[in-house]
Amino acid sequence: MTELEAVEKIRKIAASSRRAGVTLGIGDDCAILRPPRPDEDLLVTTDLLIENVHFRRDKHSPAALGRKALARGLSDIAAMGGRSWTCFVSLALAEWVTPRWIDKFYEGLLKLAGDTGTALAGGDLAKAERVACDIVVCGTAPRGKALRRDKARAGDAIYVSGELGGSALGLETGKGAAWTRHAYPAPRLRLGVFLREKLGAKAAMDLSDGLSIDLHRMAKASGLAASVDRPLPAFRGTTLDHVLHGGEDYELLFTVRPRTEVPEEFEGIPLTRIGTMRKGRAGEIEMFGLPLAPVGYDHFRTR
Amino acid sequence: MTELEAVEKIRKIAASSRRAGVTLGIGDDCAILRPPRPDEDLLVTTDLLIENVHFRRDKHSPAALGRKALARGLSDIAAMGGRSWTCFVSLALAEWVTPRWIDKFYEGLLKLAGDTGTALAGGDLAKAERVACDIVVCGTAPRGKALRRDKARAGDAIYVSGELGGSALGLETGKGAAWTRHAYPAPRLRLGVFLREKLGAKAAMDLSDGLSIDLHRMAKASGLAASVDRPLPAFRGTTLDHVLHGGEDYELLFTVRPRTEVPEEFEGIPLTRIGTMRKGRAGEIEMFGLPLAPVGYDHFRTR
C-alpha cells in the first residue's frame, strides 16, 4: 500500500464523519474549519499512544486502540467541561500493520467520534518501527467557563466520578470487567458539562495518571493542600495501590463549594466525595492524617 | 527526570512564547484559546517527525530537529496562504535523550516560533523506543480564501518558488549548502500570503514529497491534467531525479490565471513558471511530451 492509497482509504473511511464547521477535511495541507462562536473558547488537547509503552499489539484489537486513542483526548475535553468538536489523527505505522488493521483502527475511532459528535478533520501518516498515534481533539466551552485544574479554592469539597483502579487491575490481569475498563475507557463528556453548568464547579481534571499524582497536580496548580479523609470508590477486586496510584481510569476529579448539593450519581456514574481542599503547602496531600506521596503512573518513571 | 519535571521544564521554556488569544497554555488537560474572528477560517495541520524515518540522531542537532518539526507544519500553513497562530508539540522521548537535548530541541523550535509569531500552546510527552514528534500548527486565513490544492483551473499557469532538489541532494551528501537546505527548511509564510492577496492565486500546496507526486496530487484534486514544458529551477549540483522526485524542499507549488503578472522573485526567492494546467485525465502529468510518473518520496514506498 502506498501513502497515496492509504490517504485515499482513510479519506473514504472518514467521509462519513463530516460535521458543521468543517469546510475541508483530509487531503489538503491543512484542514479548514469555521471557528467557534466569539462567545466560546477553543479547547485543544493532544495525546500520544505508543506501541510497547501505552499498548501491546497482541493484547489490544485495532478497533479498541482507535477507540482508546480518541477516548483519551475526549477525556481531556470532558475534564474542561467542554463539548467535543473535531479530531486529527497522526498515525505512524509499523511494518506489521495490515490494511485490515488500519480499517479496524479507524472503525473503532470513528464509532466513538460519531457517538460524541466529533468530526475526523485531518491528520498525518508515516511509517515507523513501532506504531504511534497522536490524537488532537478540539472542543469548545463558553468563554471563560472551562474547568481548570488551577481553579480549586480552599474549603472546596473534592469529588471523583466512578470507581477507581479498575484500569490498573485490568492491565495486570488482562481479563474480565477490569480489562474492559482498561481497554474501553469512557470519556465523561456529559458529566463535565453537568459539573460546569449545574454544579458551578470551577476545577476539574481527568484521572489519567492516578489519583495520588493527579490530585497533587490539581492542588499544586491551585496553590493548595488537600486532605483525603473519606472512603475511596474502588473498582471491584482492586487493592488500595490500584485505587491510589493506578492510571488510565479517565474518571473526573473535581471540586465544588462545600455546600453544593452533589447528586449521588450522574447517569449511573457514582459521584463520591473523598476530601477537602485546604490552605497549606501547594501540592501536599494528606490521607487519613498521613502524607500521600504523588506516585501515580509517571511515563518517565520505571516501576 | 520525571514527567512532572519535564513538563515543568518545558512550561518554563515555553513561558516566553505566550501570544494574544492564548488564555491557558501548557499544564492543564487542554489549552484554552480565544477563537479567530468570525470572518476568518481556522487552519489546522499535523506533521510527524520520526527517528530513523525522517531523521537520524547522529546527523541532526536537536535544535535543528525542533526547528524542522515546526517548519514542516508552518509550511502547510504557508501553502494555504495562511498566517501562523499557535502550535502544539507531542514528543515521545527515547532513553538516549538527555535534558540538554530537550532544551536544545525546544530552543530551536521556539526560535522559529518567535520569528513567525507562533505561540507554543500545548502538547504531550511520553517515552518511547524511538524519538517521535507530532507537531500541530493552527493558523488563520480570511474566510473562504485559503489556497487549496483542488482549486486549480484549466489554463492556469503553474509556478514553483525557489530551487528544487536541494534537500534530496543534501540528504545524500550530508554536507554543504544542500545539507543546510535539508536540515533548515524555510517555510514560505510571507510568500503564501502574497500569492493569495496580491496574485489572486487560488491553488497552492507545499512541495514536501517531491514535484512529480505533489503536482500529480494537485492536478488530481483539481480534476485536471498538467503539462510541464519549461526548464525547472534546480538547486546547484542536483540531478533531474533530485529536482523531479526529491522530497522536503518545502517550496510552494501554485497556479495563477495565465495572464497574471508574476514577479521574477519575491523577497529574493525566485518564482518560476514550469507549465500549464489543462483538461485531461485527472492527475496525469506530461513533461516535454512524455508521461511523468508520480514517483516522489512516498513514506510507504521502499526506494
Q: What are A109-162's pLDDT values in tens digits? A: 999 999 999 999 988 888 899 999 999 999 999 999 999 999 999 999 999 999
Q: pLDDT value at position B127?
A: 87
CA dist A277 and B66 (Å) reads: 39
Q: Give the one of B46, B139, B301 whose C-beta lies nearest to A124's C-beta.
A: B46
For residue A119, list its beta bridge partners. Answer: A86
CA dist B228 and B88 (Å) reads: 38
Residue of B nearest to A3 (CA): B300
Contacts of A247 in chain B (CB under 8 A): none
Q: pLDDT value at position A302?
A: 39
Pull the grid cell for residue B158. Answer: 503553474
Question: Is B291 near chain A, with CB under 8 Å?
Answer: no
Å between A295 CA and nearest CA of chain B: 11
CB pair distance less than 8 Å for A47 and B90: yes
Chains A and B: how many Cβ contacts under 8 Å? Answer: 242
Pull the grid cell for residue B251. Answer: 517550496
Cα A147 to its chain centre, rounded Å, is 14
Mutation target for A interface from B34, B44, B189, B245: give the one with most A CBs within 10 A: B44
CB pair distance less than 8 Å for B37 and A38: yes
Å between B173 CA and nearest CA of chain A: 23
Residue of A nearest to B213 (CA): A4
Å between B10 CA and nearest CA of chain A: 15
Contacts of A146 in chain B (CB under 8 A): 24, 30, 32
Q: Give the one of A28, A121, A300 whose C-beta lies nearest to B127's C-beta.
A: A300
What one-character-per-residue DSSP string does B4-28 give? HHHHHHHHHHHGGG--TTEEE-BTB
Helix (H) or strand (E) holding A62: helix A62-79
User: Higher-confidence residue: A32 or B8?
Assistant: A32
pTM of structure: 0.91
Q: pLDDT value at position B301?
A: 45
Q: pLDDT value at position A303?
A: 35
Tens digit of pLDDT for each residue in A45-93? 999 999 998 999 999 999 999 999 999 999 999 999 999 999 999 999 9
CB pair distance less than 8 Å for B127 and A32: no
Helix (H) or strand (E) holding B122: strand B119-127
Pairing of strands A157-161, A269-278: antiparallel
Sheet of B119-127: strand order equals A22-24, A31-33, B40-50, B132-142, B83-93, B119-127
**Cα separations (Å) of A121 from A24, A32, A113, B82, B86?**
8, 8, 11, 18, 18
Query: pLDDT band at residue A17, thresholds of 50, 70 and 90?
Result: low
* Helices (H), ranges, chain B: 3-14, 62-79, 99-115, 166-173, 176-183, 189-198, 211-222, 240-245
Number of H helices, E strands in chain B: 8, 14
Per-residue pLDDT of chain B (303 residues; tens, 9 = 90+): 666 677 677 777 766 666 667 777 777 889 999 999 999 999 999 999 999 989 999 999 999 999 999 999 999 999 999 999 999 999 999 999 988 999 899 999 999 999 999 999 988 888 899 999 999 999 999 999 999 999 999 999 999 999 999 999 999 999 999 999 999 999 999 999 999 999 999 999 999 999 999 999 999 999 999 999 999 999 999 999 999 999 999 999 999 999 999 999 999 999 999 999 999 999 999 999 999 988 865 544 433
Q: What's the residue count for chain B? A: 303
Q: Give the one of A38, A48, A126 whose C-beta lies nearest to B124's C-beta.
A: A48
Domains of chain B plus CATH, in order, are 3-142 (3.30.1330.10), 157-291 (3.90.650.10)
Contacts of B188 in chain A (CB under 8 A): none
CA dist A122 and A131 (Å) reads: 18
Contacts of B77 in chain A (CB under 8 A): 29-30
Pull the grid cell for residue A168. Answer: 490498573
Question: Is B261 near chain A, with CB under 8 Å?
Answer: no
Q: Give the one of A30, A80, A139 whose C-beta lies nearest to B43's C-beta.
A: A30
Give the CA count within 13 Å in the CB-facing half-sphere of A246: 25
Is the pLDDT assigned to residue A251 strictly greater than 50? yes
Helix (H) or strand (E) holding B91: strand B83-93
ipTM: 0.89
Contacts of B31 in chain A (CB under 8 A): 43-45
Interface of B with A in 7-36 (CB under 8 A): 23-24, 27-36
Question: Is A2 near chain B, with CB under 8 Å?
Answer: yes
